[in-house]
Chain A
Amino acid sequence: MTAFDWIAQTLGIVGSVAAAPLFLGWVNQCRAWLQNKSAPPLMQPYRGIRKLFYKDAVIAANASPLFRLAPYVVFAAMVTAAAIIPSIATRLPFTRAADAIALVGLFATARVFVSLAAMDVGTAFGTLGARREMMIGFLAEPALLMVIFVAALISTSTALPAISEFLATQTLALYPSLAFTAVAFTMVLLAENARIPIDNPATHLELTMIHEAMLLEYSARHLALMEWAAALKLFNYVCIGLALFVPWGLTTQHAPFALVTSALLLGAKLLIAGAGIALIETVSAKLRVFRAPEFLATAFLLAVLGLLVHLLLGA
């Protein structure tokens, strides 16, 4: 490990954290275009976060320290996840600290803390949101792990960088099992990031929302961190998807030029992925909460099917 590696690693993390709201802004913009609305500026998420940071924090009278700690823990978990995911290079120092299973565990940690914080004040919406979030979580987590299992069986490693390197160096062969899991992964991505068809990020109708219901008691800097963490979570999920299913272009070298090229390529992939998410969100309708388990069970079964296809065909 050279000093350059660590600098590249730090820059990578800072870059992910800084770029996450931009990606969210891009998705929102695409969605607005597709829905024939005038789009908010690309920088709107930054403005929202900045505005929130300047506000006075209003905290419920009976909130415990856990409530104030949770935004920091959730944000830190997402930053750590950004450090693990090989979004630009596969051989950065921190990527060895955890494999994909630990990454899923990290997302689960963040989810548990959000849910606990939502239950802390003891309002009906908070606990309702927590319950729904955990319900979606326990269905999405196995599906995500099965997706990772298929990739791990193909590349004989559960470490994301190793999986990406293996898949990127193969000839452009189409793995049927990966096709199934890519669909499953997309469904998990939508569910875990509170997008349509599971949750509507634009809604404020309390009875239908999940993610927003949990943040109802947060304000100012705590809310800003939660929003930023949510943007970073979406960014992370998309980067996992890119590392698993579109790994071409990830650099294994640590020359400055290679890293810059890889970062530019990542930007291009993110533009397409963001437009894709906006398209899915536009053409689908939000499901009732109790249809969500069916949606996620489908994702789980698709991933298991991918596993079976891999074991049957060996591909």
Chain B
Amino acid sequence: MTLALNSPLIWCSLLLSAWGAVGLAGLIRPTSVIFVGRTLFPLGALLGVALACVAGANLSAPAQQLVLPIGLPDLPLHLRLDGLSSAFLFLLGAAAAGISIFAAGYFRQGEGTPPGLLCLQYHLFLASMGFVLLADDAYGFMLAWETMALSSYFLVTAQHRIPEIRSAGFLYLLIAHVGAIAILLSFGVMQGGSWQFTFDAMRGAQLEPAWAATAFLLALFGFGAKAGLVPTHVWLPEAHPAAPSPVSALMSGVMLKTALYGVLRVTFDLLGEPQWWWGLILLALGLFTALYGVIFAAAQTDMKRLLAYSSIENIGIIFSGVGLAIVFAGTGMRAAASLALIAVLYHALNHAFMKSLLFLGTGAVLHATGERNLGRLGGLIHRMPWVAWLTLVGALAIAGLPPLNGFVSEWLLLQSFLFAHELPRPFVNMLLPLGAALLVLAAALAGYVMVKFFGVIFLGQPREASLRNAHDAGLAERIGLAWFALACVSLGLFPTYVVSVLSRIIQPLGFSGLEPDDRSWWLLMPLPQRQASYAPLAFLTVILVVVVVTIVAVRFFYHQRVRRSEPWDCGFGRLNSRMQDTAEGFGQPIRHLFQPFFAMQRELPTPFDPAPRYRVVVGDRIWRGAYLPLGALVRRVADAVAWVQQGRISTYLLYSFVTLVILLALML
């Protein structure tokens, strides 16, 4: 196949390779923060912008393929760029640009791994995520997938001297590999006896329905483990907080989306015609994950763990949308399926930006205060106004409030749930609309979580004296935060444009797409016949006009006298910052209401205790109920097998002898 040199596919691969080169350049002076931080990371950010531009310009272009003669003999590397991979490459590039520019000011000396090595791992991570999206054969895909897992493992364990971080990294690596095995097996099923592992061969393979379902379920397990679907979510709240904040942002914002990409690629492209009941499984898993994630997020006291659980929630929302799209596509409801899939892609894009913004915000807080525990923060809006206000944008967006972006995708998803009663299947068409109830419950709880997150960190009085010396983020970090805040606002204000682009992307996957009313660019009307419309710009305009008019009117008619005084303390007189509500207190209604979800351990002091201490540990029932017994079982089996290792040479010689005899017996 001949390809012009200026094709977007070549540009994308070159840009991804350039990331690798930037990473390698970090090894030139691995301990120099100036060189790595001020030169290499901004360079990586520029490459991210370039990648986003190239991929963004290619969103509706036809698919291109390329065969690179690299790799094992007779196994060249196949690359392919189509609308779906362009969309995810755009996400990768745009998110990486903001995170890299933030990271330029973030990484400092003395944080475990030297900066040069971090730079290599970081850029390898970026490049491998890109190649996951470009790969067009199983070998290339698995190679990039494994590179992604390994490089991110090293990034998670950047502070490898802390035992908790090492064990978090181990758990991550373990589940990543169990998932990878499932993906590999899924590819093995999908080649359908042709033993050709290119994606083209898989597209052409005719699978029995049972085998197609097997391939789908294996892929769902494998990619679900990477995405953090319950019950394979346990690594996520351990690994994401353990990593340095820019890496957490990259993992939550981008890496989880590669798992979404994998599911979409396998289901709608490689397997072709999905069966509708696959969607039910995904929908149930997704909704449960969303609810589970957000309930645990509300109970957390560590700000990065809270965000990690919130990522689980959003992944749940995204996968429930995929499930809905599969159900609709499998029953021939093309328009509804398109709407659901557009909502999924929109939410994936939104979540990449919102969650990166929030994780970077926690990174800035962590640097300024050295504290991750919500119980020791507070009042930072006075000390760190830039970080606080920019983070507020992300918090409002992820809480799903109009006119920001999180609302648009949830709105689209709810609109597609309204089609569920038209399904030509009895019972299912009555059960599915109830899924919307769970979805809105999760979305409303997200608002609770975000008020807790923002309120406890940035508002109120500082809970520790040391917080009064906190300093605002530096210039590079502010640019990174502002980049994502701008993305959140613009994705929220111009949904019509985004929806029409996404609509063109999904058409090659066998979807009809939507025909939004292009005449009114400010009014989002995905389905004119349903008479549902939403105009965020008009929203924002009216709110702003009313705010300005009210302020001017109040000043004009009355006065603007303000007197400052101490807060009202009901005459108590000794109000201090420790009397504020804590993060535990804020989570208390949730712990009370959703008690069955938690495995709680409470330690109550006796009334006569001279030094009373109240402790509550909120644990994960799935971890205790499934993982610990499983781990114990593995250990017992390993112990039993270890009996073979007697440590005497004569025994091992006997093993060899017996093996030889058995082999000879089999041969003869």
Residues of A within 8 A of B (CB): 53-54, 56-62, 64, 66, 72-73, 75-77, 79-80, 83, 94, 96-99, 101-102, 105-106, 108-109, 111-112, 115-116, 119-125, 127-128, 130-132, 134-135, 137-139, 141-142, 145-146, 149, 152-153, 156-159, 162, 206, 216-217, 221, 225, 290, 293, 300, 304, 307-308, 311-312
Contacts and interface: CB of A to CB of B under 8 A. Distances in A.
Contact of B569 (A73, A116, A123): A123
Given A62-B461, A157-B532, A311-B429, A217 B568 contact: yes
B433 A130 contact: no
10 contacts: A61-B564, A66-B381, A97-B523, A105-B411, A112-B447, A121-B460, A127-B585, A130-B451, A153-B418, A159-B533
Nearest to A54: B558
Contacts of B164: none
Nearest to B572: A124
B563 A304 contact: no
Contact of A137 (B402, B447, B534): B447
B120 to A, nearest CB: 41
A22 B66 CA distance: 71
Interface in B362-392: 378-379, 381-382, 392
B639 interface: no
Nearest to B520: A96
Interface string B512-553: 000000000001000000111111001100111011001100
B447 A60 contact: no
Interface in B189-244: none
Nearest to A216: B568
A134 B447 contact: yes
Main secondary structure of the interface of B (DSSP, over half): helix
Contacts of B418: 149, 152-153, 158
A314 to B, nearest CB: 9
Given A96-B533, A101-B414, 8 more contacts: A53-B558, A105-B401, A112-B447, A112-B450, A119-B460, A158-B532, A159-B532, A225-B554
B568 A56 contact: no
A64 B381 contact: yes
A102 B411 CA distance: 8
Contacts of B459: 64, 66, 116, 119-120, 122
Contacts of B414: 101, 145
Contacts of A307: 433-434, 437
B379 A108 contact: no
A123 B567 contact: yes
A300 B593 CA distance: 15
A207 B460 CA distance: 20
Interface of B: 378-379, 381-382, 392, 396, 399-402, 407, 411, 414-415, 418, 421, 429-430, 433-434, 436-437, 440-441, 443-445, 447-448, 450-452, 454-456, 459-461, 523, 530-535, 538-539, 542-544, 546-547, 550-551, 554, 557-559, 561-570, 575, 577, 579-581, 585-586, 588-590, 592-593
Given A99-B532, A138-B447, A158-B418, A59 B563 contact: yes
A153 B433 contact: yes
A290 B592 contact: yes
Contact of A73 (B415, B543, B592): B543
A53 B560 CA distance: 10
B531 A75 contact: no
B455 A115 contact: yes
A313 to B, nearest CB: 11
A162 B531 contact: yes
A34 to B, nearest CB: 32
A216 B568 CA distance: 8
Contacts of B539: 80, 97-98, 102, 106
Contacts of A76: 542-544, 546-547, 550
Contacts, number: 243
Contacts of B407: 102, 105
Nearest to B587: A131
Contacts of A127: 455, 460, 580-581, 585-586
A293 B593 contact: yes
A72 to B, nearest CB: 5
5 smallest CB-CB distances across A and B, nearest first, come from A122-B460, A127-B581, A119-B455, A76-B546, A122-B461
A58 B581 contact: no
Contacts of B550: 72, 75-76, 225
A56 B460 contact: no
Contact of B563 (A56, A135, A137, A221): A56
Contacts of A311: 421, 429-430, 433
A94 B538 contact: yes
Contacts of A80: 539, 542-543, 546
A106 B414 CA distance: 16
Contacts of B562: 56-59
B448 A137 contact: yes
B396 A99 contact: no
Nearest to B418: A152
A265 to B, nearest CB: 24
A101 B415 CA distance: 9
Contacts of A57: 561-563
A123 to B, nearest CB: 5
A149 B417 CA distance: 10
Nearest to B582: A127
B121 to A, nearest CB: 38
Given A94-B542, A307-B433, A312-B430, A138 B441 contact: yes
Contacts of B401: 105, 108-109, 112
A131 B589 contact: yes
A80 B543 CA distance: 6
B448 to A, nearest CB: 5
Contacts of A112: 396, 399, 401, 447, 450-451
Contacts of A135: 448, 589-590, 593
A97 B496 CA distance: 13
B421 to A, nearest CB: 6
Given A101-B411, A127-B455, A142-B440, A122 B558 contact: no
Contacts of B402: 98, 102, 105-106, 109
Given A108-B399, A108-B401, A141-B440, A124 B579 contact: yes
Nearest to B382: A64
A76 B563 CA distance: 25
A94 B112 CA distance: 57
A228 to B, nearest CB: 10
B381 A108 contact: no
A130 B461 contact: no
A307 to B, nearest CB: 6
A58 B579 CA distance: 22
B415 A158 contact: yes
A17 to B, nearest CB: 9
A308 to B, nearest CB: 7
B460 to A, nearest CB: 3
B532 A122 contact: no
Contacts of A139: 444
A308 B421 CA distance: 11
Contacts of B450: 112
